[in-house]
Amino acid sequence: MSTHEDVLSSENLPHEPEKATLEGKNKFLGFWFFLGGETVLFASLFGTYLALKNSFGAAEHTTPSQELFGLELVFIMTMLLLTSSLTSVYAMYHMKNHDFKKMMVWLGITVLLGAAFLGLEIYEFYHYVHHYHHTFTSSAFGSAFYTLVGFHGAHVAFGLLWIITLMIRNARRGLNLYNAPKFYVASLYWHFIDVVWVFIFTVVYLMGKVG
């Protein structure tokens, strides 16, 4: 059996460094389970959104989703996020090849793409609020829209902070059995964010545009 300091060494990494230790395997499994829970979380939000998407009641400003949404921006955002999913796949590819430098580069690109996505989302919200008076409190539709999309945005933001922290913390010491699971799990999280976005652009924007 290895002594515990071994996990900090970058030598002799196995093929799947993220699952080589018991801790790593636990993290890996635990995180997948967490994602199972997140599925229900987002389902509840989607359900709420779908139930309220045409609900304005006696609200003052009632721009329906058809008029509200602009597809160009959403398309760009989608491309950014989809691409960031691929770049994080690249990062994991290099992790499995024990190429720490390349992994960091691809993670960096992932972060940049994610940040761009987030920036556009903030711009989008700003636009809705200022041009359509479509706010969080203006109607049930508004509340549901910002909550669903905002929850996703918050996930993106958290993911960015997480990956950045990991990158900074480990910049100097390279890949090892202790941090490999952390990187791997963060990338799983990132993919999951993308999964959710696929449904958001489909259900909220595209279907909302149709009516």
Q: Segment 59-78, which members bind other proteins (CB under 8 A)?
A: 59, 71, 75, 78
Q: Nearest 5°: phi and psi at 3?
A: -85, 160
Closest listed residue to residue 142, CA positions, set 60, 21, 19: 60
In the complex with other proteins, the residue whose CB is nearer, 65 or 118, is 65
The residue from 102, 127, 133, 191 that contacts other proteins (CB under 8 A) is 191
Among 11-19, 105-113, 115-123, 126-134, the segment contacting other proteins (CB under 8 A) = 11-19
| Shortest spacing between CB 98 and other proteins, in angstroms | 11
Q: Identify residues 42-61 at the interface with other proteins (CB under 8 A).
A: 42-48, 50-52, 55-59
Compute CA distances 65 → 49, 87, 113, 157, whole Å: 12, 32, 27, 25
The residue from 68, 107, 117, 142 that contacts other proteins (CB under 8 A) is 142
